[in-house]
Amino acid sequence: MNPLGEPDWRLFRGDGVPRHMEMPPAPPWRRFGAGERAAPDGAAPGGERTPSASGPARPAPYLIEPEHADVVNAALHLRRPLLVTGSPGTGKSSLARAIAHEMDLGEVLRWPVNSRSTVQDALYRYDAIGRLRETALTRDRGEAEPDIGSFVRLGPLGTALVPGGRPRVLLVDELDKGDVDLPNDLLTVFEEGEFEIPELARLPEEQSVVEVLTERAGERATVRRGRLMCEEFPVVVITSNGERDFPPAFLRRCIRLELPTPDEARLRAIVTAHLGDDALEDVDQLLDAFLRRRAARELATDQLLNAVFLRAGGMDVTAADGLLEAVLHRLGGAV
C-alpha cells in the first residue's frame, strides 16, 4: 500500500532505497518449472497444468475456427507438413502444442530456425573431438574404448523420425529466418522419412547396431547400419512470418494454413482463455487502444495480454506516461 492506502504495484522505485519486495505471481505464459507453460500467442495451447485440490487443471483450449481445424486434419491424414503463416501472435507456434496435447502425442520437439541453421544439425550432431579425447583417456587407463553412440546426438528433426508406434510432433519455428536453400534441403528428408549417419554407416558389420542419444534427455534410439527411418511420419508444423517466399517444390509438399488476425470478439475470447472471465472487466479502454494501434502498425496478440495482465494487477496502463507505448510498441522498423 502507498501512503494513501491504495495498492501499489511498483516493485522498483529507482530511489536507491533497498526494500525486501515479494514477487507477484507471473503471467501464465511466463511460469517456469514443472510442466509446460502456456504460450501467449493466439490462445492457450494444451500443456498448462496448474495443480489444484482435485488434481491437474484442465488446459485452456486452443481457439481455432472449424475451417482451420479441417486444414490441420488434412495435413494429418496426408502425412504432410503443415505450413502455418499469419501475423505475429495469431497462434502459429501454439498450434503444434495444441495438436500434441489433444492427440496425446507427448512433448513437442522444437527446431527454432535461424540464419545458421542446417538440416544436418537438425538431424544429428557428432562430437568427433569429444570421442577422440575420451578414446585417448581410456587407452591411457587401459580401458575399453567408449561406444561411438555416446557421441552422436539426434537433433529435433532426427528425433522426430525415430521409429515408434505413434508419431511425434515437430515444430519447425520461423523457417523463413533460415538460409534460402534450407527449404529445398528439407525436401528429401520429408519425402523419404529417413536419413543416414555416415559416421555410423562406415562401421564394421559387428557394430552395425548402435544406440545413440536423442533430443530428449535420457532417451536413446537404435540406429541400424547407419540409417534411421520413421514408422509413422511425424506431425510437422512449420511456421513462417511471411518474411520471404518459399520455392514451389517445397510448397507443393506442404499443406498451407493461413491464420487470420484476431478480431475484437476473438481477442476477448483469448483474454478469457488465458486470464479468466474477470480479466474482461474494465478492459474496453485497453482493447480499443490496442485495436486503434494495430490498425496503424503491426502488433501481436500477446502484447494485449501483457497489458491486460498488468491492468489486472493494479497497474493503470492507460494512465501512466509512456507505459502503454512500452507495452504496445510497434514490432517493425528500427528500435
Give me the mean pLDDT over the 162-172 stretch. Answer: 94
Contacts of 47 (CB under 8 A, 6+ apart): 35, 36, 37, 38, 59, 97, 100, 101
The CA distance from 326 to 256, in Å, is 34
- pTM over the 0.75 mark: yes
Q: So what's the pLDDT on residue 57?
A: 44
**Residues 1-34: tens digit of each pLDDT:** 444 444 567 888 888 889 888 888 888 878 876 5
What is the model's pLDDT at position 30? 81
Q: Are strands 220-224 and 209-213 parallel, antiparallel or unpaired?
A: antiparallel
Confidence category of residue 52, pLDDT binned at 50, 70, 90: very low
Look at residue 51 in the predicted model and tell me its pLDDT: 36
Read off the pLDDT of residues 62-90 as tens digits, 9 standing for 90 and up. Answer: 888 999 999 999 999 999 999 999 887 78
- CA angle, corner 267, sides to 265 and 273, nearest 5? 105
CB 305 within 8 A of CB 290: no
